[in-house]
Chains A and B, each alone.
Chain A
Amino acid sequence: MSGEIREAAAVRDGEPSLALDVKKVREDFPILKMRIHGKPLVYLDNAASTQKPYAVIDAYNVFYSGCYSNIHRGVYHLSETATKAYEDAREKARAFIGARGIEETIFVSGTTEGINLVAQTYGREKIGKGDEVLVTWMEHHSNIVPWQMICEEKGAVLRAVPIDDRGDLVMDELEKMLGPRTRIVAVTHVSNALGTVNPVKEIVRLAHRRGIPVLIDGAQAVAHMRVDVRDLDCDFYVFSGHKLFGPTGIGILYGKKELLESMPPYQGGGDMIRSVTFEKTTYNAPPYRFEAGTPNIAGAISLGAAIDYVAALGFDAIAEHESAIQAHAAEVLSSIPGLRLVGDARTRIGVFSFVMEGIHPHDIGTILDREGIAVRTGHHCAQPAVDRFGVPATARASFAVYNTREEVDALASGLLKVREVLL
C-alpha cells in the first residue's frame, strides 16, 4: 500500500506539488466502492468517524490470525511478539505527535477516556472548592461533562470561553477568564460542529504565563494536520484512533512526563502495579500506571498501521488536497439557495455545518441518504456550540483525504434535490 503511494508521488516528480492521487487513495478503502440505495456511497461523515484502509483491516487480521496472545506476561514466543507489536505501535504514536518519550504516550480507549482520565487523576488532585476549570463554548460533550462531574464533586466552577458569530473563540475573553483560581484549560484543537481551528499554541502560551496547564482535545485535528506536542507545549493532548482511519476503542493520551509522574493511577488492576501485597501496592511508572488490565492490543497495533498509512500519504499532500476540496465545498454550498453555514471561522477545516431555510436537518439527512450521501444531522454532541447559533440542530458534511470534487458536486445536487422534494 505505502509503496503504491510513494510510487504515485514519484510519477509526479518534476511537478511543483506532490499532489495526492485521490483515485489511488480511494482504492485503499474497500467500503468506498459500496453502493447505497443504488447510488455510489458518498461518505461525508468523517468528523464522526473515518473509514478504514486495507492496511488497518489487514493489521487486525494478521494480529488475530498470526501472532495473537496477551502482552507483558508470558516468556513464550507469541507473547513476546505481541508485546513487541504493541510497544512498536506506541512508538509510532509517540513519533506521530512528537512526544519526547514512550512514557508520555498512554493507550486509552479514545478521546473520551483520555479526558476522563485526566479529570479523574490530575483534576481530582488539583481542583478544589472555589477553583475553576476553563473550557470553551465549542467543546464536544466529552470535553465538558468529565469536567462538570469533577467540578460538581469538588465545589469548583466550570467556565466557558465564548465564541463570536463566525465561530471563533473570543481570545480577549479567554485571556480575561484565565484567573488565579483556574486549575486547567481544556480546549478543542478543531471544532467538530463548526470546523474552527483554534489557536491552541497561543492559548497554551497565555495559560502558561499564569502557570495554568492546558489539555487539548485533538479528536478532529489528527487526520488533517501535523501535530507536534512539543511545539504546542501543551500539557495533555488526546485523540481517538477511529477518526484517524484506525479502529474504534483505541486512542492516545499524551501527557508531559513530569505531570504524569506526579499523577495517581486512574484504574487499579493488572499491569499498572509494581508489587502488590494486602498491605500496600506500589504503582508502575507511566505509561503503564495508566493502563490497568489487558488493553485493546489489536486496536493499538492497527492504530499503528493507520499512523503508518497517514505518514506515507504525508500531511503536506493531505493538506493540499483537503484545502482544495474545502474551498470547492465552501463555494458550492454558498450557491445553494436558502442555505446558511453555521460557523465561518477565519481558520477552519472541511467540516461544514449548515441549515436550510424552511427545512429541518433531519429531512435533509434522509433525502441525501437516498442519494447515497452520508451526512450527520443533529447537535453533533456539541449542544452549546449549536445553541449558540440559535438553531436546534444542523446538517454537517465533513471531508477527509479520500473525498473528491465530484463528491462535493454530488452533495450540491443532493441539496437541490432536498429543496425539490420539500419546498
Chain B
Amino acid sequence: MSDLRDLYQEVILDHGRNPRNFGKLESANRRAEGYNPLCGDRFTIYLFVDEGIVRDIRFEGSGCAIALASASMMSEDLKGRSEKDAEKRFGQFHALLTGDPSDREGAADPALGKLAVFSGVREFPVRVKCATLPWHAFEAALKEERETATTE
C-alpha cells in the first residue's frame, strides 16, 4: 500500500482528474502525437514556439492517471522555457524515473521541483512509459517530427 501511495500521490491524482492546459491550442505552430501501442494511450501536444521559447503548450488525448498527470504537469513546467532548457528537463525527468529504486531520496534532483512527485514511478518499471509518453511527444513536436512518437 505504501508504494502505491508513493505512485499515486495526491498531486498526481489531482492532475489526473483535472488536467491543466487540456485542449487544443489554436495558435500552435508545432504539434506531435505520442502513442503507446501497448495500452492504446494517445496524446497530441501543441506548442507555440517563438524565438526559441516555448510560449504556450496544451495537450489533448486519453491515458491512465500517470500519463495524464505527467502531461498536465509537464505543460505547466515547460511553459516559458527555452527549447534547450526544455530538452534538459526531459533528461532530468527521465533520470528520476529510471534511477535506482533504493536510492529514493538521493536521486530526486532538487531542480526538478514539483516534478519530483513522479519519483514513486521508479518502483513500477512497467509504468515508466506512461510517465514519459507525453514528454516523447513534446520532444517530437519540438523537432517537428511528422511521425507519431511512440514509447517503443
In contact, A358 and B17 (Cβ under 8 angstroms): yes
Q: A421 an interface residue at 8 Å Cβ cutoff?
A: yes
Complex interface bits, B96-113 against A, C-beta within 8 A gives 1, otherwise 0: 000000000000000000
A79-128 residues with Cβ-Cβ distance < 8 A to B are none
In contact, B62 and A392 (Cβ under 8 angstroms): yes
In contact, B42 and A366 (Cβ under 8 angstroms): no
In contact, A379 and B7 (Cβ under 8 angstroms): no
In contact, A363 and B64 (Cβ under 8 angstroms): yes
Q: A378 an interface residue at 8 Å Cβ cutoff?
A: yes
Nearest CB on A from B85, distance (A): 30
For the complex, give the distance between the alpha carbons of A316 and B18 in Å. Answer: 51
Given the known A-B contacts A370-B4, A422-B65, are A362 and B13 also in contact in the complex, defined by CB atoms under 8 Å? no
Task: Report the nearest A residue to B3, measured CB to CB.
Answer: A370
For the complex, give the distance between the alpha carbons of A393 and B17 in Å. Answer: 18
A346-361 residues with Cβ-Cβ distance < 8 A to B are 358-361
In contact, B40 and A379 (Cβ under 8 angstroms): yes
Task: Report the nearest A residue to B39, measured CB to CB.
Answer: A378
Interface centre among B5, B63, B64 (most CB of A within 10 A): B64
**Which residues of chain B come closer than 8 Å to A377, judged between CB atoms?**
39
In contact, A362 and B1 (Cβ under 8 angstroms): no
CB within 8 A of B1: which of A360, A361, A370, A393?
Answer: A370
For the complex, give the distance between the alpha carbons of A359 and B5 in Å. Answer: 16
**Which residues of chain B come closer than 8 Å to A421, judged between CB atoms?**
4-5, 8
Complex interface bits, B13-42 against A, C-beta within 8 A gives 1, otherwise 0: 100010000000000000000000011111
Task: Report the nearest A residue to B62, measured CB to CB.
Answer: A392
**Which residues of chain A come closer than 8 Å to B38, judged between CB atoms?**
378
Chain A interface main SS type: helix
CB within 8 A of A392: which of B13, B41, B126?
Answer: B41
CB within 8 A of B42: which of A361, A367, A392?
Answer: A392
For the complex, give the distance between the alpha carbons of A360 and B8 in Å. Answer: 13
Nearest CB on A from B33, distance (A): 14
Task: Report the nearest A residue to B124, measured CB to CB.
Answer: A366
Complex interface bits, B36-65 against A, C-beta within 8 A gives 1, otherwise 0: 001111100000000000000000001111
Q: B142 an interface residue at 8 Å Cβ cutoff?
A: no
**Which residues of chain A come closer than 8 Å to B42, judged between CB atoms?**
392
For the complex, give the distance between the alpha carbons of A366 and B120 in Å. Answer: 13
Task: Report the nearest B residue to A367, measured CB to CB.
Answer: B4
Complex interface bits, A355-387 against B, C-beta within 8 A gives 1, otherwise 0: 000111111001100100000011100010010
Task: Report the nearest B residue to A358, measured CB to CB.
Answer: B17
Q: B127 an interface residue at 8 Å Cβ cutoff?
A: yes
Nearest CB on A from B38, distance (A): 6
**Which residues of chain A come closer than 8 Å to B66, judged between CB atoms?**
362-363
For the complex, give the distance between the alpha carbons of A422 and B68 in Å. Answer: 13
Q: B140 an interface residue at 8 Å Cβ cutoff?
A: no
In contact, A366 and B41 (Cβ under 8 angstroms): no
Q: B130 an interface residue at 8 Å Cβ cutoff?
A: yes
B87-135 residues with Cβ-Cβ distance < 8 A to A are 124, 126-127, 130
**Which residues of chain A come closer than 8 Å to B64, judged between CB atoms?**
360-363
Task: Report the nearest A residue to B65, measured CB to CB.
Answer: A363
For the complex, give the distance between the alpha carbons of A92 and B126 in Å. Answer: 40
In contact, A378 and B40 (Cβ under 8 angstroms): yes
In contact, A422 and B13 (Cβ under 8 angstroms): yes
B131-152 residues with Cβ-Cβ distance < 8 A to A are none
A370-423 residues with Cβ-Cβ distance < 8 A to B are 370, 377-379, 383, 386, 392-393, 421-422
In contact, A360 and B40 (Cβ under 8 angstroms): no
Nearest CB on A from B120, distance (A): 11
Interface centre among B13, B17, B38, B39 (most CB of A within 10 A): B39
For the complex, give the distance between the alpha carbons of A378 and B65 in Å. Answer: 15
For the complex, give the distance between the alpha carbons of A358 and B17 in Å. Answer: 8
Mind listing 28 A-B residue pairs with CB under 8 Å? A358-B17, A359-B65, A360-B62, A360-B68, A361-B39, A361-B64, A362-B41, A362-B64, A362-B66, A362-B130, A363-B8, A363-B64, A363-B65, A363-B66, A366-B4, A366-B126, A370-B3, A370-B4, A378-B39, A379-B39, A383-B40, A392-B40, A392-B42, A393-B39, A393-B41, A421-B5, A422-B8, A422-B13
Excluding A360-B65, A361-B39, A377-B39, 6 further A-B contacts by CB distance (< 8 Å) are A361-B64, A362-B64, A363-B65, A370-B3, A378-B38, A392-B42
Closest 7 CB pairs between A and B?
A: A360-B64, A362-B64, A392-B40, A393-B40, A378-B39, A363-B65, A363-B64
